[in-house]
Structure formats: C-alpha cells, structure tokens
A and B are shown apart, each in its own frame.
Chain A
Amino acid sequence: MTAAARSLSLRRVAPSGHRLRVALVWLAILVSVVLVWEGAKWFFGDPWRIHTTFLGLPIDIEHRPPFRNRIATDLSLPHIWEVVGAFAAPAQRNGPPLGLILTEQALFTFREALIGFTFGGLLGLLLGIGFVHSRLAERAFVPYVVASQTVPILAISPLIVVATKAGWVSVAIISAYLTFFPVTIAALRGLRAADPRAFELMRSYAAGRVAVLWKLRLPTSVPYLFSSLRVAAAASVIGALIGELPSGIPDGLGSSLLNYNQYYTSGPERLWATLIMCSILGLGFVGLVRLAETILTRNRYRPVVGA
C-alpha cells in the first residue's frame, strides 16, 4: 500500500457536494467563533452601549449583561468590530493608520525570518547530505540535532540577542536555529528514499558519489524537503517574533507586541490587531512556500503524500 493510495482514503474522489459542505463547515466554525466571542460578552461582559449607523441603518444597543467575568470585559476581550476597526484607526494622534504601521513592521520581521529560513534550510540540507554519506557522523551527531530542538532556544534568545547586541542578525540566527532541524530530518529521509534498485542501477553505471547525489538522491528528496520547509517557515516567523522581544528593535512586529502590551489598558484592541498581523505573517510565509512548491514540483512529481 503506497503512501499515495493511503492518502486517497482521506481525500476520497469527492462529489461536488463535498466542497460545498467543507465550505459550510468553515462558515459554521467562523460563525460559532463570533457567536461565542460576542455571546460571552453579552452575558458576562461590560455593558453594551452602541449608538451608530451601519450602512445607513441606525443601530442603538443598550444592554446590561446579567453576569460578570473578568475574561469577557471590554479590556480583556474587545468587541470584534473594535479589533477590526483598530486597523484603520491611527495608532498615535495624527499618525498613519495602525494597519499600515503593522504591515511595515510585518515586512521587517519577515525579512529577518526569511534570512534565518534560508540559512537554516541550507544548513539542514548540508547536514543531511553529510550524514547520508557518513554513517559515523550520523550516529555521532544526529542525537544532538534532535536534542537541539528540545532545548528551548527561545529561552536563550534574551542571552543571544541582548548580550551580543547584534540586532536583527541575532534574530535571524534564532530563526535559522528553528529551521534547520525539520529540514535536516526531512533531508535524511528524502535522500535515502529512492527505490533501492535505483541505487543498484547507478552502481551498474559505475556512477560516483557525486553523480548519485546529484542525479538520484537530491531530486528524490525534493517533496520531503518542501513539506519540512512549510513547518520551517512557520517556525522561523515565531523565532523572529520572539527574538525581537528582548532586542529592543523598534522596526519589527515584536516591538509592537511589547508596546501594546505595556499600554494594554489604553487600547486593548491594538494588541489584538498586532496578534492578527503576526498570524497573517506566519500564514503568509507558509503560503509562499506552498506556492513555490507547486510551481517547482507540479508535473515533475507524481502527487505524493507521505513526504
């Protein structure tokens, strides 16, 4: 039973109704989130006083919730529309809208993450190639590669960032650290994943190690590498964000996180807006990797899962 066939049992040849039902479930999830959120505020939150117009229709809502819980207060859980509105509102008096500021910061953080991602990915691939060719090196060092991930690097980030005073470089290093592990493991799997008879074939051509690497191992490993790169992309964004926290770098999203955390009481919706931007950054980067994967592997690789 190939992995490909196995994946089919998850994604059956679907009638067109399936797509529609999936979309409906997404909608249902979205709606339930909104209902739970605002519902909690309706029953447990602060008094509602809304006097505004929406698309020309006046909306006047006055409501006193029957119970009280500190999680649902306007401070802890701003109304959804307040969070959305925060993007358009200026962060400082007469300043540009928050959405613009956050976007610029997101791009800055993205650059750090991208650099870390690139170096981490290259390192992971090189390690994989090295380990595949030397069993001894593999046995000696792979435990440490694994152990490196159990080390809470993010716990060390203050040390790295503050003490080295290296600014965004140290942030990129943290990103690279979080990237190289999944790529190394995927490289190890992928570089060995070719049909054993393909190796025999290369031997029958008296092909050297380099030829085997270039013509067999590396192309075979591409699907595996891409699947790990998606994970690595998410990890590198997290690494960049957390790395920025102790660094005092004003240009990244991390500084907004700290800033709006500090001034939380004066505008909780801004922190929430920042968090949403962090999420968009993470999802966006993963989306880019997916796009690259589609472009590079469509038609050249039989659609395979299990990588």
Chain B
Amino acid sequence: MTALAIARERSASWLPPVVVFFGVLLLWEVLFLLLDVKAFLIPRPSVIGTALVDQWATLQRGLIYTGTEAVLGLLAGVSLGTLAGLATSRWATVRDTLVPLGTAMSTIPIIAFAPITINWFGFESQLPRITIVALMTFFPIMVNTIRGLAQVDPAALELMSSYAASDAQVLRKVRIPNAMPYWFTALRIAVTLSVIGAVVGEFFGGPLYSLGIYVTNQTGSFRYPNAWAAIVIACILGIGLYLIAVLIERLAMPWRRGEVTSGE
C-alpha cells in the first residue's frame, strides 16, 4: 500500500472526531455571537476561556485538591478490590455470594453516604471523599476480578491439569491473563466513578477552592462562566484519567485492538 493510502486509512479513525470537536466549538462560538444569544447560562467558548485564564489560580488549586482525592481513592479501591478478588475467587461459595453482593453494592448510591463520612472524618479532611471514591471503585473491580479469574475456558484448565500444574501456576499462566480484559473494563468504569465521587462528595462539604464547592458557589452567585470553567477543568481531569487508564491497558494488552465495545 502506498504511503498516501496508509495515511488516509489511519486518519480515517481519528479525523472525524477531531473535525466534529473543532466544528462544534466553532459553531457554538459563531452561532451564539451572531444570534446574540443571551445565554448567560451557557456562555460562548471564548467567554469560558477567559474565565479559565482569570480564575486559573483557584482552579489549579481545585484541580490538585479534587484530583488528589480521586486518585488516592482510586488507588485504594482498585488495589483492595483486586486483592479481594484474588483472595476469594478460589471458593465457589464465596464467589457466588460476593459477586451478587458486589453488584448490589454498585447499585446503591454510595455517594449519598458522603455526609456520614464527613461526620466521621471532619470537614477539614480529604478522607471523606477518598473513602467514598474507594468504596465506589472497590466493588466493580472486585466483581470483575472474580469473574475474570473464574470464567476460564474449561478446556484450558484441563490442559493445565494434564501438565500437573500447581494452583499457583494455573493462576499465573491462565487465570490472570484471562482476567485482564475484565479488569481493565472495570478500571475504565472505576476511573470515571472516581472523579464523580470526588466532585459530588464535595457538594456536601469541602474547602471553597475544591472543584465541587467552587461550582456550587459560582452557580449560586450566578457567575456562570466561572462555574463552566471549573466544569471544564473537572472534565479534563476525568478524561485525562480515563486516557491514562486506556494507555495502561494498551501497554498491558498490546494484542487487543482496543475497541470500545470489547471486553465483558
């Protein structure tokens, strides 16, 4: 294939979304400008951009503060969830209780427990949000770890048995590689939950510069461009963490064509 054809084929995947992005941005700006939309609610991109620059000092603090909560909670929840999955996937009885339990716990609005954690750890601390994020991410990771370790092709297990492989060897060579797609799917979910947990947890209480309180306050005082600027920061935080998760996934499983639609 010629270089041109190769380039054309490769760009076919990232070009359309990029075009859409800049197109929408441009349209938004121009349309609102032309129609003189009194969209005090949704300001033009340029207005949001200005607010971003103006408020950068505060927003930066908020980004670090909230981001730290999300990341620490994520680390705690993911590692504990993985360990819990590894420890319990051996026993069918425990599996068959933990998986439904974990699924049920993912259904419960754990965020709603934020006021209680604030009461436990105090207003000054970041622990309330970290705890919430850890809880929110723990269950999907644990459930998917268990599923991935357990739902192995029986034929592969029979093969290992014919090699008289030890349980540890089976774990390392068969179960863990099998579990990886499941685990990474859960990681993606956990990452998006972590930012939500951190920001929404702050709705219930936190320092003024934290992203959650900042958005609420600015909205309350009708300073929408500032609120939107903070939201943009929160989005960047979320998307950034998500892309990191995808990068780790690609590095760990280079043989998979990372479709959105693949994985359990």
Contact = CB atoms under 8 A, between A and B. Distances in A.
Contact of B112 (A70, A140, A192, A257): A257
Interface string A1-28: 1000111111110100010011011100
B224 interface: yes
Interface string B190-232: 0110011001100110000001100110011000100110010
A152 B200 contact: yes
A234 interface: yes
Closest 4 CB pairs of A and B: A140-B16, A150-B238, A234-B107, A261-B115
B242 A71 contact: no
Interface in B230-247: 231, 234-235, 238-239, 241-242
A188 B104 CA distance: 26
A144 interface: yes
A162 B219 contact: yes
Nearest to A246: B216
A147 B109 contact: no
Interface of A: 1, 5-12, 14, 18, 21-22, 24-26, 29, 70-71, 75-76, 136, 139-144, 146-147, 149-156, 158-159, 162-164, 185, 188-189, 192, 233-234, 237-238, 241-242, 245-246, 257, 261, 264, 268, 271-272, 274-275, 278-279, 282-283, 286, 306
A272 B152 contact: no
A151 B235 contact: yes
Could you tell me the dominant secondary structure of chain A's interface residues?
A: helix
A151 B93 contact: no
Given A142-B260, A152-B195, A163-B224, A76 B109 contact: no
A286 B107 CA distance: 8
A55 to B, nearest CB: 30
Contacts, number: 173
A76 B119 contact: yes
B239 A147 contact: yes
Contact of A152 (B16, B238, B260): B238
B264 interface: yes
Given A238-B111, A242-B200, A282-B108, A9 B152 contact: yes
A147 B195 CA distance: 13
Contacts of A272: 116
B54 interface: no
Interface of B: 12-13, 16-17, 19-21, 41, 92-97, 101, 104, 106-109, 111-113, 115-116, 119-120, 147, 150-155, 157, 191-192, 195-196, 199-200, 203-204, 211-212, 215-216, 219-220, 224, 227-228, 231, 234-235, 238-239, 241-242, 260-261, 264
Given A139-B12, A279-B108, A11 B200 contact: no
B17 A271 contact: no
Contacts of A237: 107, 109
A75 B150 CA distance: 42
Contacts of B239: 147, 150-151
A139 B16 contact: yes
B108 A185 contact: no
Nearest to B198: A152
Contacts of B153: 1, 5-6, 9
A76 B106 contact: no
A48 to B, nearest CB: 20
A278 B111 CA distance: 11
B215 A159 contact: yes
A14 B92 CA distance: 10
Contacts of B17: 139-144
B231 A156 contact: yes
A184 to B, nearest CB: 10
A76 B121 CA distance: 10
Contacts of A155: 195-196, 199-200, 211-212, 215, 231, 234
B80 to A, nearest CB: 16
Contacts of A246: 203, 216, 219
Contacts of A153: 196
Contacts of A11: 96
Contact of A158 (B101, B155, B219): B219
A140 B20 contact: yes
Contacts of A306: 264
Contacts of B219: 158-159, 162-163, 246
A154 B115 contact: no
A283 B115 contact: no
A218 to B, nearest CB: 17
Contacts of B107: 233-234, 237, 279, 282-283, 286
B97 A22 contact: yes
A156 B200 CA distance: 9
Contacts of A154: 111, 196, 199-200
Contacts of B151: 6-7, 9-10
